[in-house]
Each structure stands twice: as C-alpha cells, then as structure tokens.
Amino acid sequence: MRAFILLKPEVVQRNLIGKIICFIEDKGLKIVGLKMITATREQIEELYEGHKASAHYGVLINCCLDGPVVAITVESPLGIDSAELLKDLQGKHDIAGTVRFYFSSHPSRGVLHCSSPGDGHRESSIFFSLAEINNYTKVLDQWIIANQHDVITTL
C-alpha cells in the first residue's frame, strides 16, 4: 500500500534530504515518487485538513511554506500499509533510531510529515499525478516476499 512523506523546508535548509532518504530505504520501502517543490498554501492546507482544530495549525501551515519541500511517495513490498512502517521511521524525539531523534532541532518540531494508515493515496495525490508515480519491480522486493512466505510456512 502507498504512503506519503513530506520533508519540510528545514530538511532542505539543513542538507538532510539524502540522510532521511537513507532511513526510508533502510526500512525496505520502495520510493515510487520523489520531487522537490515549492508547495502552495492550498496543497499544505489540504494535507493537514484533519488538523484544523489544532492550536498549532497556523504555525504548522506556515512552517511548510518557509521554502522548498520534498514530496515522496513510497510503497511496501510486503503489501502492508506503508504508513505503519513510517510510524517507526518518524518516531518521537526521544526514541533513538528515529528521524525525529536524529534530526529534529526541537522536540516540538517535526522535520517530516508521514501519512497515517489509510491516508497515503489521498495525500500522495495532492502532490503527484498518477503519471508521476513509477510502478516498477525490484528484484529485492521479490526476494523479500518469497522469504516472507517461506518463513511463515515453516513456523
């Protein structure tokens, strides 16, 4: 299943794009869409439509409009919702091994947005057309799927 990640302007300014992409790939996620853009207010408001009631909504929107962002669409080769894997990737500022632990400049500032389970297709479509999503097979994906099946059948 598809999930969406937005690397915020702070990531671009601090030269962290490549480091965070390494975290994404190390989780076994397949990047099927990747681009740097200057997001519009409408795109960011649509992305965070579920947060309108939050006291920090305005700050959140403005933070994402401070400069270019990197939009990323990912898929999991195992057919599970990639957003579940993203929760561990994003994490909290006090959990070692997460993006927030290593890269957030303050506990209240997230450097990336990760879609919640079930929201990946909707959020991805805000930033990517269907023609911009690359459908391809990786040999490694087939190996992971085959080995996952072997492990399950031998337990």
Q: What is the mean pLDDT of residues 82-110?
A: 64
- Supply angle C-alpha 88, 39, 50, rounded to 5: 55
DSSP code of residue 96: T
The pLDDT value recorded for residue 17 is 96
| Statement: residue 82 has pLDDT above 70 | no
Which residues on neighbouring strands pair with residue 75, listed in sequence order?
2, 30
Q: Quick one: pLDDT band at residue 44, thresholds 50, 70, 90?
A: very high
Kindly state the DSSP code that residue 136 receives in the 8-state scheme. Answer: -
Whether residue 68 has pLDDT greater than 80:
yes
Of the listed 56, 113, 121, 149, which one is catalytic? 113
Query: pLDDT digit string (tens) for 106-127?
Result: 655 678 888 888 898 999 999 9
Beta bridge partners of 73: 4, 33
* Domains annotated on the chain, with CATH: 2-154 (3.30.70.141)
121 as an active site residue: the answer is no
User: At residue 95, does pLDDT exceed 70?
Assistant: no
pLDDT value of residue 102: 67
The residues, any chain, with a CB within 8 Å of residue 45's CB and separated by 6 or more, are 61
In the chain, what percentage of residues exceed pLDDT 70?
A: 74
Q: DSSP for 105-152? A: SSTT--SEEEPPTT-HHHHHHHH--GGGS-----HHHHHHHHHHHHHH
Question: Which helix (DSSP H) or strand (DSSP E) does residue 75 occupy?
Answer: strand 69-75
User: Does pLDDT of 153 surpass 50?
Assistant: no
